[in-house]
Amino acid sequence: MILVLAYSAVLLSFFSGLLGLMMHQRQHVLEFSQYMFNKLPRRSERCQSLIAPYLEEHRFPFLLRKAVFVLLGLSGVFAVLAGLSVLIGKTVVTDQLSLGLPWLPWHVRFDCLSGFFFLIIGIAVSSVSLYGPGYVNSYDESQHPFAVLGLFTGLFVAGMMLVLLADDAFFFMIAWELMSVASYFLVAFQHENPANRRAAFIYLLMAEVGALAIILGFGVLAGFSDGFTFDALRKANVSTTWASIAFMWALLGFGMKAGIFPVHVWLPEAHPVAPSHISALMSGVMLKVALYGLIRFCFDLLGDVHWQWGVVLLILGTVSALGGILYAMMQTNLKRLLAYSSVENIGIIFMVLGLSMIFMANGHPQLAALGLLAALFHAFNHALFKNLLFLGAGIIHHQTHQLNIDMMGGLIKKMPKTSMLFLIGCMSISSLPLFNGFVSEWLAFQTALQVDVLDNGVLRSLIPVAAAALALTAALAAACFVKVFGLIFLGLPRSHHCEKAHETQDKGMLAGSSLLAGLCFLFGIFPGLIISLINSVAGQLLGETLPNDAALGWLWLAPVSVSQASYAPPLVLIGALIAGCVSFWYLRRNPSTAIRTAETWDCGFGGLTHRMQYSSSAFTMPFRRIFAKVWIIDEQIDKDMQGAMNQDVAAVHYQLRIQDHSWPRLYEPIARGVNSTAKLVGRIQTGNIRVYLGYSFATLLLLLWVIS
């Protein structure tokens, strides 16, 4: 039953892709329906009258788009149902599909871990399918055909779900490649821009290198076992060294997809150029699928984790979290900024996973369960709020035709609903209390503070430092999203487009985002709902659940014990409402003190224009100065002089370019190395036929010598 739900989710997304292909086949559909009517003359009159209006020339594309997204949405709903049923039932379902290689049918396994990620995919896909129809309407059909978008969206979603279902390395890689390649075409969707083609190419290159690393990781394990099924890999008796090598390959492969520093560079390139609902899926969900791969590989297939791996994850995660948010802060392109912030959040998840590994390896499985729970909960939350922010960015782009936050401003009055939804996203991602982002961060801190149980002195001093880095990350994230919300929605409009912007008329776009915003708030107030689900994941994966199972109520959150830490978000909400209402009522009751509006005071300077506001580079200037070493900063101020002595400044040009260190430090040397190797190899290609004949002769002699 559970598998039927999961399979139907996959099939529905697949069909939605196929249906997208029908976009330009109206003529064929017409002919086919005529043919069917002639074949089956009974009732054809009524059927024809029923179907005919849908096949009219101007309605057909519109309805088809709707149908594609309805199928996608249904797939999401089925995925949620499948995930919930396996999480509540705490079961494991296995199956075999007679597809694939003759001696290796596709093995399918659906357990709590897969179920939890199915839940994430399901929620994200449902909201995207509500949002999609309104968003794709703006594309010009002749230039950006919907058939391509629809087909690859369907394949992409189906690929992600299949990755979660796979139970042998072969099937896993096929599904993984389906996901990667389909998303490549989505990134390259608006391929008329050279930048988009470049981004898509970088993405494809890194995805394939990552896939190679994953294959090598599986290969190492398969070398010690008698097959490619995950069951066989689990049983493999791997020595510590080889297990560590397999771990490093898996970390490289999955880390590349998840966007961990320094292999994150495809993220800020690919996310801004893809259509917004696709970037939402890529950032919110695909990165999580990579995370799933890592968790599956380390905790399930490798079995015995080592604390050194945990330290590697912890350090990589810390660097990613800090680097991600610092780079995000400097961006002016909204979607690029969000992409870097994904690097940050993935870093946080890696940190907590690392803690979980450390506790697991040191014989504290209950605390490992706490860490795993915090990591998975943060993954879930990140999927919610990052999707919400990307969808919000899509609405803003749709209404103002730009993504540069330095050109926006004042949208809170023009787009009140979008601004409210975006504000909720910003508050969740800045981990403010009452929203879901805070709860997972709180759990992460609680995990880090359990460090006292460890014996190793290095770990005992390393983990608190990592916790402080997490605190710094959270504070920087708050600063970054104050900048984002403040520059986009508050202040005066900085461009003509923003002045003319108005709220989106499409109810679906708002509904998709509202669903996510509502969930952000719901799970911020009642985190127990989702935590009890994740607890069963930990139970299946680690064989242990939280130290304090009994305290898992809807009201209280006390993961370790009540005397150590507790948090009751509903009580906090009630308190906040009381405090707010009392002060509001007390101060508003006197009618003579009603608000009077007047010109902006601005210390009496007056003459305020939108050019005088703080811009993105102004807002982040203190950070740029304090953390100057983090970026490659190229700042130029040119003055145009005029007048008799060339002393009057006529105009000032300011230019600021901020670059990622990883390009010149890591990628360009690799590119140079590849090029120079190619040149060396090129030397043997002289272009002279006699030399080539000589090569053939030498080869022949060599082969003859080998044979004899």
Partner 1 sequence: MNWLIAILQTILFVVLAPLLAGWIKCCKCRLQNRKAPSVFQPYRDLFKLTHKQPVVSEQASWLFIKAPYIIFSATVLAATVVPLIAVDLPTSASADVIVMVGFFAFARFFLALAGLDIGTAFGGMGSSREMTISSMAEPAMLMAIFTLTMTASTTNLSFAISHVLNEGLVLRPSFVFALSALVLVAIAETGRIPVDNPATHLELTMIHEAMILEYSGRHLALIEWASQLKLMLYGVLIANIFFPWGIAESFGIQALGYGLLVIIGKLALLAVFLAIAETLVAKMRLFRVQEFLSFAYLLGLLGMLSHIILEAAR
Let me know: does 528 contact 548? Beta carbons within 8 Å. Answer: no
Regarding 583 and contact with partner 1 (CB under 8 A), the answer is yes
- Please state the φ and ψ torsions of residue 42, each to the nearest 5 degrees: -65, 135
Distance CA 157, CA 281 (A): 9
CB atoms inside a 10 Å sphere around CB 84:
18
Q: Which stretch binds partner 1 (CB under 8 A): 38-46, 105-113, 331-339, 600-608?
A: 600-608
Residue 183 or 332 having the CB closest to partner 1: 332
**Interacting positions 380-409 with partner 1 (CB under 8 A):** 409
Distance CA 19, CA 451 (A): 54
455 part of the interface to partner 1, by CB under 8 A: yes
Choices 87-95, 170-178, 288-296, 439-447 (CB under 8 A): range interacting with partner 1: 439-447
Which of 71, 467, 533, 630 is close enough to bind partner 1 by CB under 8 A?
A: 467
The residue range among 36-44, 64-72, 470-478, 649-657 that interacts with partner 1, by the rule CB under 8 A, is 470-478
Nearer to partner 1, 28 or 460 (CB): 460
Beta bridge mates, 557: 567
Distance between CA 277 and CA 513 in Å, rounded?
11
DSSP string, 202-231: HHHHHHHHHHHHHHHHHHHHHHTSSSSBHH
- Side-chain-facing half-sphere of 607: CA atoms under 13 Å: 1
Minimum CB distance to partner 1, residue 329 (Å): 10
Give the helix ranges, DSSP H, for 238-333: 240-258, 266-273, 276-281, 287-295, 307-330
- Of the candidates 141, 130, 145, 29, the one whose C-alpha atom is nearest the C-alpha of residue 70 is 130
Of positions 594, 651, 670, 678, contacts partner 1 by CB under 8 A: 594
Single out the residue of 128, 214, 330, 474 in contact with partner 1 (rule: CB under 8 A): 474
Q: Pick from 622, 664, 669, 673 the residue near partner 1 by CB under 8 A.
A: 622
Which lies closer to partner 1 via its Cβ, residue 85 or residue 447? 447
Write the CA distances from 426 to 65, 351, 390, integer angstroms. 31, 22, 11
Closest CA to 512 of 243, 346, 195, 281: 281
Query: Which residue, 6 or 334, is less far from partner 1 as judged by CB?
Result: 334
The three-class DSSP label of residue 505 is coil
Residue 198 vs 413, nearer CB to partner 1? 413
Cβ atoms of 340 and 268 closer than 8 Å? yes
Q: Does 451 bind partner 1 (CB under 8 A)?
A: yes
567 part of the interface to partner 1, by CB under 8 A: yes
Q: Which stretch binds partner 1 (CB under 8 A): 180-188, 292-300, 410-418, 530-538?
A: 410-418
Closest CB to partner 1 among residues 614, 663: 614
Determine the Cα–Cα distance for residues 28 and 26; give it in Å rounded to an integer.
5
Enumerate residues 481-500 that contact partner 1 by CB under 8 A.
482-483, 485-487, 489-492
571 lies in the binding site for partner 1 (CB under 8 A): yes
The reply on whether position 565 binds partner 1 by CB under 8 A is yes
Tell me whether residue 4 or residue 576 sits nearer to partner 1 (CB atom).
576
Q: Quick one: 596 or 683, whose CB is closer to partner 1?
A: 596
Choose among 447, 476, 238: nearest CA to 349.
447
Which of 83, 613, 630, 631: binder of partner 1 (CB under 8 A)?
613
Shortest separation between residue 504's beta carbon and partner 1, angstroms: 18
Q: CB-wise, 189 or 485, nearer to partner 1?
A: 485
Residue 347 binding partner 1, by CB under 8 A: no
Binding segment for partner 1 among 62-70, 139-147, 187-195, 599-607 (CB under 8 A)? 599-607
Alpha helix (H) residue ranges in 53-145: 60-89, 112-136
User: In this structure, how many other beta carbons lie within 10 angstroms of the beta carbon of residue 96?
Assistant: 13
Give the nearest distance from C-beta 478 to partner 1 in angstroms: 6
- Please state whether the peptide bond connecting residue 262 to the residue before it is cis, i.e. omega within 30 degrees of 0: yes
Contact window for partner 1 (CB under 8 A) among 7-15, 183-191, 399-407, 467-475: 467-475
Size of the site for partner 1 (CB under 8 A): 84
The single-letter DSSP state of residue 592 is G
- 52 part of the interface to partner 1, by CB under 8 A: no
CB of residue 372 vs partner 1: minimum separation in angstroms? Answer: 20
The only residue of 27, 592, 647, 685 in contact with partner 1, by rule CB under 8 A? 592
- Cβ 34 to partner 1 shortest distance, Å: 57
The answer to whether 378 and 355 have CB atoms below 8 angstroms apart is: no
Is residue 600 a contact point for partner 1 (CB under 8 A)? yes
623 binds partner 1 (CB under 8 A): yes
Instruction: Please tell me whether residue 553 adopts helix, strand or coil conformation.
Output: coil
Q: Is 427 in the site for partner 1 (CB under 8 A)?
A: yes
Residue 566 lies near partner 1 (rule: CB under 8 A): yes
Task: Give the nearest distance from C-beta 522 to partner 1 in angstroms.
Answer: 18
C-alpha span between 203 and 198 (Å, rounded)? 8
Cβ within 8 Å of residue 675, ≥6 positions away: none
Is 433 an interacting residue with respect to partner 1 (CB under 8 A)? yes
Q: Does 593 bind partner 1 (CB under 8 A)?
A: yes
Retrieve residue 672's tokens.
């140079």
How does strand 632-642 pair with strand 648-659? antiparallel
Distance CA 483, CA 326 (A): 13
